[in-house]
Amino acid sequence: MANRVRKAKVSDVPAIKKLIDHYARKNIILQRSLNDIYENLRSFFVYTTPGGEIRGCCALHIIWKDLGEIRSLAVDEHLTGEGVGSALLEAALLEAKDLGLEKVFTLTLSRDFFKNHGFREVPKDTLPHKVWGWCLRCPKFPDCDEVAFVIDV
């Protein structure tokens, strides 16, 4: 499974956008513009089929010298439960460790998924103020229904 996860390429952006849009329409993850995906492309991992189709994505965004964030974890619904999300998350966490980050957090509605991967729930107000810059741009602000999770890497 892990050998089908790789860093994203420019040619992957339309497929990444399509995956994110699918879940954003369901209010499960936050919408990302094409511009934002291109500007942050080096943060993205993708999962590919043997035929090269993009069927999952996940971004590791560096927040500060010791902190990263998992963003835009999305998997084709036909592959849910097949380990794709886990493989993407594992790749992002391995990169976080390689970069020397101490902690990674996420804001999510998928509590069980992150708990099952060793993340612990924390109050959102314990996250650094730097995180809230993105929150101010979020359509859910100030009535966010996402939960914060953190893992030590």
Read off the pLDDT of residues 30-76 as tens digits, 9 standing for 90 and up: 889 999 999 999 999 999 999 999 999 999 999 999 999 999 999 99
Q: What is the pLDDT of residue 126?
A: 84
The answer, yes or no, to whether residue 81 has pLDDT greater than 80, is yes
pTM, rounded to two decimals: 0.90
CATH second-level architecture of 2-152? 3-Layer(aba) Sandwich (3.40)
| Residue environment code for 118-148, b if the CB has 16+ CB neighbours within 10 A, otherwise e | ebeeeeeeebeeebeeebeeeeeeeeeebbb
Q: What is the pLDDT of residue 132?
A: 57
The answer, yes or no, to whether residue 130 has pLDDT greater than 60, is no
> Considering Cα of 44, then 48, then 54, then 58, what sign does the dihedral take?
negative
- CA-wise closest residue to 121 among 150, 92, 79: 150
Domains of the chain, by residue range, sit at: 2-152
Strand partners, 108: 147
